[in-house]
Amino acid sequence: MTDSGSSSRAIAWPLVALLAVVSLLGGVWLGAVAFVADEKPSPRIVPIQVLDDTLKAGGNVEYIPDREIYVLSLQRIPPPPEGSSYQIWFGNDDVIVSAGLWNPTATRFAVVAYESRYDTMFITLEPSPRGSDQPTTEPLIEIDLTAL
């Protein structure tokens, strides 16, 4: 004589396991669909290009599209010589606009700008602690913003 309760339990466990696997796979699929369908753009990052061989700096530029913010991160950049400053510029064709001065004690610099307005960002060493109206030296660092 068999116990009808134990046979129904024996059938229930495989069914429960099958339902758990189906639920898990369904959750993974829904998560993937939700991730792909997410309209919030993720930050995009491009490395800097150091043009001066004596400068051993590293870093990148990150663009956060939903906030229209460029974030420049630099590591190992030495302080500018006394009486001068590192100045950050945006460029597009013949238009060059100052984005500001690099704080030598900082590691990041953020600026708001429309994504398609500029092709490049670059840094010069300007002979004034207050920077210049236009670049007066060749770029030390350049960033191709079209790669973002």
Query: What gap in Å lies between CA 121 and CA 46, rounded to an integer?
Result: 11
Query: What gap in Å lies between CA 113 and CA 13, rounded to an integer?
Result: 59
Tell me the average confidence (pLDDT) per consecutive run of 10 residues in the chain, 148 residues long. 56 71 67 53 87 94 93 96 97 94 95 92 97 97 95
What is the pLDDT, as a whole number, of residue 13?
72
Q: What are phi and psi of 106, to 5 degrees?
A: -95, 165
Tell me, which fold does domain 44-147 have in CATH? Answer: Immunoglobulin-like (2.60.40)
Query: What gap in Å lies between CA 55 and CA 78, rounded to an integer?
Result: 8
What is the pLDDT, as a whole number, of residue 23?
73
What is the pLDDT, as a whole number, of residue 11?
66
Burial label for 103, CB within 10 Å (0-12, 13-18, 19+), is exposed
What is the pLDDT, as a whole number, of residue 35?
53
What is the pLDDT, as a whole number, of residue 73?
97
Domains in the chain: boundaries? 1-38, 44-147
